[in-house]
Amino acid sequence: MSEAVLYSLVVGATVGFAAGYLGSIMVLEKMALVGDALSHVALPGLAIGVLLHFNPLVGGFAFLFVSAVLIWHLGRVTKLSFETLVGATFTLALAIGILLFGNNLDALEEALFGDITKVGAIEAAAAVAISVVVIALTRIIYRKIVLGLISEELAISKGISVARNNLLYLLLVSLTVAIGIQITGTLLVGFLVVTPAAAAKTISANMSRYLMLSSIFGAVSAISGVLMSSAFNILPGPLIVISGIVIFVVVIVIRWRKKLTY
C-alpha cells in the first residue's frame, strides 16, 4: 500500500466519520440538499488556488466559509430557507468555478472528483485535527440544535440562540466539506453528509444509536471507496458514493425484514 493511499485512508476515515456525525443534523433539519449543494460552492475557491498557486483547499474553504456566513445572514434577513438560498447560489458558483478553471481540465477533474494520489502527511494530519475539532464542537451544540428542532420557541425560552448555533453548524459543515473534497471532489462530497445519516435514521430508535451509526456508515463508505480506488485505479469519489449506497440498500432491507416501525 502506497503512502498516498494510507494517508487517503486516514482522511477518508476521519472525514467520513465527521461528515456522518454532522450530517445526522442535516437530515433531521431536512436540509439534505443543502449539504450537497453547499459543496459546489467550493469550486471557484479551488480554481483560484490553482490559478494563483496556493493550496486549492484553502481557497475552497474560504469560499465555503464566506458563502455559509452570507447564506446564514440572508436567511435571517429574508426569512427564506437555507435550501432556497443554497439552491440559488450553488449553480452560479459551479458556473464561475468551471469558467475559472478554463482549459485546465486535469485540475477541474481533480476538483470535481477528488484525487487520492495528491494526499500527503500534512493533508492527513489536518484532516484528523479538523475532524476532531468538528466532532467536539458539534457535540457541544448537538442537543441545543435538536431542542431547536423540537421547538424553536422552547429553545429560545431556555436561552439558546438558535441563529448562532445554526451559523456555527454551517461553518462546521464548510470545514468538513473542504477537507472531504480532496478524496471525493466537490461534486460528490455532499454525499458523505447525507446518505450515511439517511441510512442510520432508517434503523435508529434513539439519538445515540443514530449518531453512532451515521458516523460509522460515513467512515466505512469512505474507507471502502478509497481501498477500491487504489485497487482498481479509478477515481475515489464515485466509489465512495457506491459503497455508501450499498450500505443504504442493506439497511433498507434490514428495516423491511425486521418490520421496524420507527
Partner 1 sequence: MEAQGDVILKVSNLRVEFSNQPIIENVTFEIKRGVTLAIVGPNGAGKTTLFRALLNLIPYEGKIEWGGKIKIGYVPQILSVRDIPISVKEFLSYKNESVQDMKDVLSSVGLDSETIINKSLATLSGGQMRRVLIAWAIVDKPDVLLFDEPTSGVDLDSEEAIYGMLRKLTAKNKITLLLISHDLHIVREYSDYALALNKCPVFFGESKDVMDPATQKLIYGEAICREYGGDHV
Q: Which residues bind partner 1 (CB under 8 A)?
A: 28, 143, 146-147, 149-151, 153-154, 156-157, 201, 204-210, 261-262
What is the residue whose three cell numbers read 429553545? 155
First-to-last alpha carbon distance for the chain, in angstroms, is 42
Q: How far is the CB of 200 from partner 1 (least distance, A)?
A: 8
CB of 143 to partner 1, least distance (A): 7
Q: Is-contact 226 183, C-beta < 8 A?
A: yes
Q: Give min distance, CB of 145 to partner 1, in A.
A: 11
Q: Which is nearer to partner 1, 211 or 226 (CB)?
A: 211
User: Is 77 or 205 the residue whose CB approaches partner 1 more closely?
Assistant: 205
Q: Minimum CB separation from partner 1 for residue 9, in Å?
A: 30
Q: Nearest approach, Cβ of 82 to partner 1 (angstroms)?
A: 17
> Shortest distance, CB of residue 106 to partner 1, whole angstroms?
43
Note whether 184 and 170 are within 8 A (CB): no
Q: Which is nearer to partner 1, 105 or 205 (CB)?
A: 205
Nearer to partner 1, 27 or 177 (CB): 27
Comparison of 28 and 128: residue with beta carbon closer to partner 1: 28
139 vs 209 by CB, closer to partner 1: 209
